[in-house]
């Protein structure tokens, strides 16, 4: 448990999961990410609540890729494609965890060569720090040979509300990656101009998704930040990643007992996942998320959540 003066965050060693985040709102404290009461329930977490997704977040078409002249086959856990590192990805592993004072925790994991079908031994470190109203995720990894790595933090932000449909999102992204019906990029990017999901000047999820089908799409960031307001709270993200996946939680269901005051129903939380380009290894023109002994991995993400009228 990370604790500040009026904020607390619960981190689990299974999958580096952010289980709970409590912030002040109208004189009380409310949970602002969706979570399960019982940590054991995360052993069956098909909607990826709170995880660090990887080795490669998002989808890999055909559940495989070529690297260095060799084909690597991966579990087709969203057949015929692969998603979020597969059923035994980093989210399913028990990491070593140690505290670093009351406001920081360091999680480490060795992922052996061949795990989940991926080449290379990875030595991973994720440090999570609470600084005032900000939660900072520092993710590092080194590999003993060329491999792929594209991590994404996968919390569902509820901001203490029942639905994210009313959330107002501002996202400085003039382009997105069009997908096919299986949510695999078709190649290249396209402008958001004239589309209902043009969030550059801000709009609600309901405005961006008027038919209520939900959004699950990758935006290419012009500036490396995003802002959401809802239920009297403000969420701000800063990232060093080129893209951000926005998912409106339309497939959520009440699988396990939720944290008090929550309901896990469609649109109960909004995912904002900084990441590299999806399916880049199989998409010509997208920068491949390659990690080598000479090119270690680093991602830093800062999320602030605070009361809208706070000064």
Residues with catalytic function: 154, 273
Q: Which residues pair with 64 in a beta bridge?
A: 73
CA-CA distance, 191 to 178, in Å (whole number)?
A: 10
Q: Residue written as tokens 């706070």?
A: 310
Q: Are 137 and 301 in contact (CB under 8 A)?
A: yes
CA-CA distance, 101 to 35, in Å (whole number)?
A: 24
3-state secondary structure of 90: helix
* Helix, strand, coil fractions of the chain, as percent rounded to 5: 5, 45, 50
CA distances, 280 to each of 26, 88, 149, 152 (Å):
44, 21, 11, 15
Nearest one of 193, 282, 280 to 243, comparing CA atoms? 280
In degrees and rounded to multiples of 5, residue 95 shows phi and psi of -85, 155
Can you count the helices (H) and strands (E) in the chain?
A: 1, 26
């Amino acid at each position: 448990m990370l604790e500040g003066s009026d904020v607390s965050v619960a981190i689990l060693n299974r999958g580096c999961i952010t289980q709970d985040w409590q912030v002040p709102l109208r004189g009380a404290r409310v949970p602002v990410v969706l979570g399960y009461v019982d940590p054991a329930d995360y052993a069956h977490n098909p909607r990826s609540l709170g995880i660090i997704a990887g080795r490669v977040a998002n989808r890999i078409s055909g559940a495989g890729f070529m690297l260095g002249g060799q084909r690597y086959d991966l579990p087709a856990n969203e057949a015929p494609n692969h998603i979020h590192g597969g059923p035994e990805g980093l989210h399913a592993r028990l990491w070593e965890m140690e505290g670093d004072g009351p406001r920081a925790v360091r999680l480490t994991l060795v992922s052996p060569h061949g795990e989940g079908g991926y080449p290379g031994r990875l030595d991973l470190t994720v440090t999570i720090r609470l600084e005032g109203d900000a939660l900072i995720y520092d993710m590092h990894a080194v590999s003993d040979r060329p491999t792929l790595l594209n991590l994404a933090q996968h919390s569902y932000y509820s901001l203490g509300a029942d639905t994210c449909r009313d959330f107002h999102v501002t996202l400085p992204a003039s382009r997105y990656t069009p997908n096919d019906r299986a949510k695999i990029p078709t190649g290249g990017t396209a402008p958001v101009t004239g589309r209902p999901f043009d969030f550059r000047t801000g709009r609600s999820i309901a405005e961006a998704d008027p038919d209520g089908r939900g959004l699950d799409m990758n935006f290419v960031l012009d500036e490396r930040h995003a802002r959401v307001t809802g239920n009297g709270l403000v969420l701000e993200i800063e990232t060093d990643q080129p893209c951000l996946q926005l998912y409106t939680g339309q497939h959520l269901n009440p699988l396990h007992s939720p944290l008090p005051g929550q309901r896990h129903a469609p649109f109960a939380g909004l995912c904002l996942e900084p990441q590299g380009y999806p399916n880049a290894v199989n998409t010509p023109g997208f920068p491949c998320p390659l990690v080598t002994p000479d090119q270690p991995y680093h991602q830093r993400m800062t999320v602030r959540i605070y009361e809208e009228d706070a000064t």
